[in-house]
């Protein structure tokens, strides 16, 4: 339909293109704010040539462009499932020297395409096309395509909008940072670079827990002047990601008690449009909902890393999925899934939480680092509050596979994963103990004695009960770092430490399916008897599987960061001590975990209270 067929009552412009009675929920963009953001994630040229700006596309004669792309699509299935919107209108401003063919497309669960509407534009015109949100229950999206038929054409100011009688909700952004000064400054600068997206933002809270103040960086100082009273900078003691994000939630709730807060990592490559889309979607959901962004790889920016994540509370693995249609580590230039996917939680690289959710379920747990976002999403679900990972709302984040699991963070991942599992109905201590025993035994036969200690310490501290969280995790951080230094295999050394004659050993074949435990038992017996292949040998990170490394007594393993390597040496006494400790803690976990889980559940109201967090921040809680 054209604008004549879909007239609506216009009202005052609110800055983001919205008017009274309508809200812009997504813009059609053609480039990102950084050269790293591949232009094909916004629009692709099917034929001919074009030039583009962020909000405009100039087509040469005969050129054909399509917006069936990561950022170009409107996620119709998600809007039908989760929001009160009954239709969506897309508005396009066109200036052409001849004819432009404009098509509104839609897809379904099977990625079959259909034309919703089409028109030919002659001269200059603003076109509106409206489509009902009634044919996307299981999947599907909408997008535009353009063809300059016999002359040049310029397309600008694409806006997807919906009808709403609700006033815009205040939106705050909370950025937690710790010694990533330049990255944090660049993230704030990216937000400031897009005034239209920023028009929905009431406040930006930067919570700095690092040793070097972000406010001293020249870029941050410049952007601070541009943002004025919108930007708030706070410094506090290091309480980890949980403490930084919670402080942003706390401050936002004090300023705008009925608003939304977008939690955002400091080291992302930010697409400001994502904030606009999250805020608009959350404002239209049929009930309070956590709405999160997808994560793209920073080093491989056309690939999607994480979306619609779920968790395994027995193996304590995050980011898993039981849906083969959920795209993870896939190239978004090749295919975008049309199936609607369900999420259990969304990572806090960029995630919106409404004030009503905080009022209903409380603040995050003071777990310092790791699993705070998972636990919060699961807790919300128990209260009937869904988490939605919104396609087309995305940021780029440092690729996880460049980070080695053998670090202090593994302590928090294990301890906090256990706490999260214990809070969920159906907690199964015997199954968890079996999985943890298997994981730690693999660390021991891999000669990762420091990692095994880290995991064991996490289990021991979990069993200590809720008091372990009294200080928000600061003491645990100091202690685990100090304890890990006693194990040489935790230290990264230069690759040059590998002697020139040390041979490289490629990965041995993996155990046959169902034989993993038998092979682990065999490796454990070999270590107990000292019957290992003499080293040293060098093994790449990707080849460093436990069944392979466990054959040798002296190994240099490349670190995941590729900045160096770790030297692992067999030590019979250390292996025996860790194994005996594992047996003891496994028995304790089976015996004590049910009572410990009850203690954590009983402590939740106190742990997640505003008063508790105010105490940790060292400030006075507000008086009701």
pLDDT, tens digit (0-9, with 9 covering 90-100), for 317-351: 998 877 777 777 789 999 999 999 999 999 999 99
Tell me the three-class secondary structure of 183-198, residue by residue. HHHHHHHHHHCCHHHH
Residue 10 has pLDDT above 50, yes or no: no
Strand partners of residue 93: 126, 156
Handedness of CA 239, 241, 242, 248 (dihedral sign): positive
Q: Which of 56-70, 247-261, 593-607 has the lowest mean pLDDT?
A: 247-261
- The tokens 């050269």 sit on which residue? 35
503, burial (CB in 10 Å: exposed 0-12, middle 13-18, buried 19+): exposed
* Overall average pLDDT of the 604-608 stretch: 98
Residue 14 has pLDDT above 50, yes or no: no
Distance of CA 204 to CAs 223, 262, 494, 586, Å? 12, 9, 40, 45
- Chain centroid to Cα 113, Å, comes to 30
Residue 1 has pLDDT above 60, yes or no: no
* Cα Rg of the chain (Å, integer): 27
Residue 13 has pLDDT above 90, yes or no: no
| CA–CA separation, 240 and 600 (whole Å) | 20
For 427-462, the pLDDT digits (tens) are 999 999 999 999 999 999 999 999 999 999 999 999
| CA–CA separation, 622 and 112 (whole Å) | 55
73 membership: H or E segment, kind and range: none
Residue 2 has pLDDT above 70, yes or no: no
Strand partners of residue 126: 93
| CA–CA separation, 212 and 185 (whole Å) | 12
pLDDT of residue 18: 62
Q: Which of 35-49, 320-334, 469-483 has the lowest mean pLDDT?
A: 320-334
Confidence of residue 79 (pLDDT cuts 50, 70, 90): very high
For 529-586, the pLDDT digits (tens) are 999 999 899 999 999 999 999 999 999 999 999 999 999 999 999 999 999 999 999 9
pLDDT of residue 9: 31
Question: How big is the CA angle at 388 (ends 292 and 85), to the nearest 5 degrees?
Answer: 110
Confidence of residue 162 (pLDDT cuts 50, 70, 90): very high
CB contact set of 216 (below 8 Å; sequence gap of 6+): 181
* Overall average pLDDT of the 160-168 stretch: 92
pLDDT of residue 535: 87
- CA-based nearest residue to 90, from 120, 117, 59: 117
Centre a 10 Å sphere on the Cβ of residue 119 and count the other Cβ atoms it contains: 17
Question: How big is the CA angle at 100 (ends 96 and 104), to the nearest 5 degrees?
Answer: 130
* Overall average pLDDT of the 346-365 stretch: 97
Confidence of residue 3 (pLDDT cuts 50, 70, 90): very low
Is residue 159 reached through a cis peptide bond, with omega within 30 degrees of 0 on the bond before it?
no
For 399-433, the pLDDT digits (tens) are 777 788 899 999 999 999 999 999 999 999 999 99
| CA–CA separation, 240 and 210 (whole Å) | 10
Residue 124 has pLDDT above 60, yes or no: yes
Confidence of residue 623 (pLDDT cuts 50, 70, 90): low
CB contact set of 583 (below 8 Å; sequence gap of 6+): none
Instruction: Identify each DSSP E strand in 381-468 by its residue range.
Output: 387-397
Strand partners of residue 173: 204, 262
Residue 20 has pLDDT above 70, yes or no: no
Over pLDDT 90: what percentage of the chain? 89
Residue 520 has pLDDT above 70, yes or no: yes
Tokens of 416: 């906090």
| CA–CA separation, 310 and 347 (whole Å) | 10
How would DSSP label each residue in 364-377? PP---SSSHHHHHH
Q: Which of 5-9, 242-246, 320-324 has the lowest mean pLDDT?
A: 5-9
């Amino acid at each position: 339909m054209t604008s004549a067929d879909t007239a609506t009552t216009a009202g005052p412009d609110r800055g983001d293109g919205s008017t009274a009675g309508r809200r812009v929920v997504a813009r059609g963009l053609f480039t990102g704010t950084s050269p790293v953001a591949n232009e094909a994630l916004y629009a692709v040229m099917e034929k001919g040539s074009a030039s583009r700006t962020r909000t405009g596309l100039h087509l040469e004669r005969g050129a054909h462009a399509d917006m069936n792309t990561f950022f170009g699509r409107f996620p119709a299935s998600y809007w039908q499932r989760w929001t009160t919107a009954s239709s969506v209108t897309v508005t396009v401003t066109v200036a052409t020297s001849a004819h432009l063919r404009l098509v509104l497309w839609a897809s379904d669960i099977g990625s079959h395409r259909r034309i919703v509407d089409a028109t030919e534009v002659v001269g200059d015109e603003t076109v509106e096309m409206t489509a009902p949100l009634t044919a996307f229950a299981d999947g599907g999206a909408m997008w535009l395509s353009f063809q300059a038929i016999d002359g040049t054409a310029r397309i600008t100011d694409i806006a997807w909008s919906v009808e709403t009688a609700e006033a815009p909700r205040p939106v705050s952004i909370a950025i937690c940072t710790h010694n990533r000064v330049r990255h944090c400054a660049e993230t704030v600068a990216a937000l400031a670079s897009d005034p239209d997206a920023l028009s929905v933002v009431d406040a930006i809270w930067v919570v700095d827990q690092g040793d070097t103040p972000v406010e001293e960086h020249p870029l941050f100082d410049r952007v601070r002047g541009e943002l004025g009273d919108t930007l708030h900078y706070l410094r506090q003691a290091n309480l980890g990601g949980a403490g930084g994000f919670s402080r942003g939630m706390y401050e936002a709730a004090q300023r705008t008690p009925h608003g939304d807060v977008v939690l955002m990592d400091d080291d992302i490559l930010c697409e400001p449009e994502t904030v606009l889309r999250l805020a608009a979607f959350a404002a239209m959901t049929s009930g309070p909902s956590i709405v999160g962004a997808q994560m793209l790889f920073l080093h491989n920016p056309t690939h999607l890393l994480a979306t619609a994540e779920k968790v395994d509370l027995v193996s304590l693995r995050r980011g898993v999925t039981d849906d083969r249609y959920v795209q993870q580590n896939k190239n978004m230039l090749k295919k975008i899934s049309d199936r609607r996917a369900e999420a259990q939680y969304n990572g806090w690289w960029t995630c919106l939480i409404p004030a009503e959710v905080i009022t209903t379920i409380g603040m995050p747990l003071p777990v310092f680092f790791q699993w705070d976002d998972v636990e919060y999403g699961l807790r919300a679900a128990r209260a009937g509050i869904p988490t939605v990972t919104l396609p087309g709302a995305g940021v780029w984040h440092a690729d996880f596979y460049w980070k080695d699991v053998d670090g202090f963070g593994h302590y928090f991942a294990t301890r906090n994963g256990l706490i999260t599992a214990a809070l969920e109905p159906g907690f199964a201590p015997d199954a968890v103990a079996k999985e943890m025993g298997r994981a730690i035994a693999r660390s021991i036969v891999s000669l990762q004695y420091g990692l095994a200690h880290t995991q064991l310490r996490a289990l021991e501290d979990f069993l200590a009960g809720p008091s372990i969280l009294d200080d928000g995790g600061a003491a645990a951080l100091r202690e685990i770092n100090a304890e890990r230094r006693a194990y040489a295999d935790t230290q990264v050394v230069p690759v040059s430490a590998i002697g020139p004659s040390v041979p490289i050993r490629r990965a041995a074949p993996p155990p046959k399916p169902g034989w993993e435990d038998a092979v682990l038992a065999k490796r454990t017996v070999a270590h107990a008897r000292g019957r290992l292949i003499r080293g040293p040998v060098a093994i790449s990170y990707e080849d460093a599987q436990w069944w392979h490394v466990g054959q040798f007594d002296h190994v240099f393993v490349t670190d995941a960061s590729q900045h160096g390597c770790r030297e692992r040496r067999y030590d019979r006494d250390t292996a025996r001590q860790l194994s005996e400790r594992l047996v003891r803690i496994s028995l304790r976990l089976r015996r004590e975990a049910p009572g410990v889980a009850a203690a954590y559940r009983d402590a939740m109201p106190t742990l997640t209270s505003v008063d508790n967090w105010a105490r940790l921040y060292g400030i006075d809680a507000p008086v009701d």
